[in-house]
């Protein structure tokens, strides 16, 4: 049930972009510095995010990436699906990319209790990721930082 490093890194970078006043571009170099991700690897991730219209780019000096929409219009679920595929633990339980079970002894999908369970899991994951936007995450991060600053001053 592990997230890949691509999904992990993409969410980190998008949170970083969401923390800035939108729209405001950051270069791959800057993003890599802030997150500790290998720049060339991050570049590929950004290209995929751009192809999916999650971010948009400006080339040349002073170029970089910025969110293609407001962070309140971007959910973590969308990003994770983009980088890691469907949320469901089994292809037969995916709503976005359904693939039937290959085992010939599997019961019909409607009557398969395991598929029913994987659907429950899928819905549970989606319940968290599809309702969490990057605006929400950025808000939480600001709150956490304010909290930390407070702790430090006392």
Partner DNA sequence: CTAATCCCTATCAGTTAGCTAGGGATTATC
Partner DNA sequence: GATAATCCCTAGCTAACTGATAGGGATTAG
Length in residues, the chain:
154
- Cα-based angle 144, 148, 153 (whole degrees, multiple of 5): 150
Residues 18-57, mask of contacts with its own copies (x by CB under 8 A): ----------------xxxx--------------------
What six digits make up the tokens of 64?
Answer: 């970089």
Between 99 and 143, name the residue whose CB sits nearer to DNA: 99
103 binds its own copies (CB under 8 A): yes
User: 34 in helix, strand or coil?
Assistant: helix
Stretch of residues binding DNA (CB under 7 A), selected from 37-45, 90-98, 127-135, 142-150: 37-45
User: Please, where are the H alpha helices in 24-133?
Assistant: 28-35, 39-51, 76-84, 113-129
Instruction: Specify the residue, 59 or 105, whose C-beta has the smaller distance to its own copies.
Output: 105
Residue with tokens 């304010």: 146
Residues 41-80 that bind DNA (CB under 7 A): 41, 43-44, 46-47, 50, 57-65
140, interface contact from DNA, its own copies, none, CB < 5-8 Å by kind: its own copies
């Amino acid at each position: 049930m592990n997230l890949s490093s691509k999904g992990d890194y993409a969410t980190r970078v998008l949170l970083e972009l969401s923390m800035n006043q939108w729209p405001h571009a950051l270069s791959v170099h800057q993003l890599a510095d802030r997150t500790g991700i290998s720049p060339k690897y991050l570049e590929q991730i950004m290209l995929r995010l751009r192809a999916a219209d999650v971010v948009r780019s400006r080339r040349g000096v002073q170029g970089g990436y910025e969110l293609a929409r407001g962070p309140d219009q971007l959910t973590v679920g969308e990003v994770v699906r983009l980088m890691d595929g469907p949320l469901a633990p089994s292809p037969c339980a995916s709503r976005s990319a359904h693939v039937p079970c290959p085992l010939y002894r599997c019961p019909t999908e409607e009557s398969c209790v395991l598929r029913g369970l994987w659907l429950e899991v899928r819905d549970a994951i989606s319940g968290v990721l599809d309702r969490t936007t990057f605006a929400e995450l950025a808000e939480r991060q600001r709150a956490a930082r304010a909290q930390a600053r407070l702790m430090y001053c006392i």
